[in-house]
Amino acid sequence: GNECLFHKEACRKRRRTGLAHSGPCLVPKGKCTEEELGQFPYRLLDWFLLLSRMGGTYTPEAPPQSCLSHTHRAQLAKQRFMSLD
Q: Which helix (H) or strand (E) holds 78?
A: helix 70-84
Rounded CA gap, 63 and 24, in Å?
A: 40
- How much is the pLDDT for 19? 64
Contacts with 12 (C-beta within 8 Å, 6 or more apart), sequence order = none
* Closest alpha carbon to 47 in 76, 85, 25: 76
* Model confidence at 7: pLDDT above 60: yes
Cα 38 to chain centroid distance, Å, stands at 16
Amino acid at the residue 44: L
pLDDT digits (tens, 9 = 90+) for 45-75: 888 888 777 775 545 555 555 667 778 878 8
Q: What is the mean pLDDT of residues 31-42?
A: 87
Whole-structure pTM over 0.75, yes or no? no
Report the chain's mean pLDDT, rounded to a whole number: 75
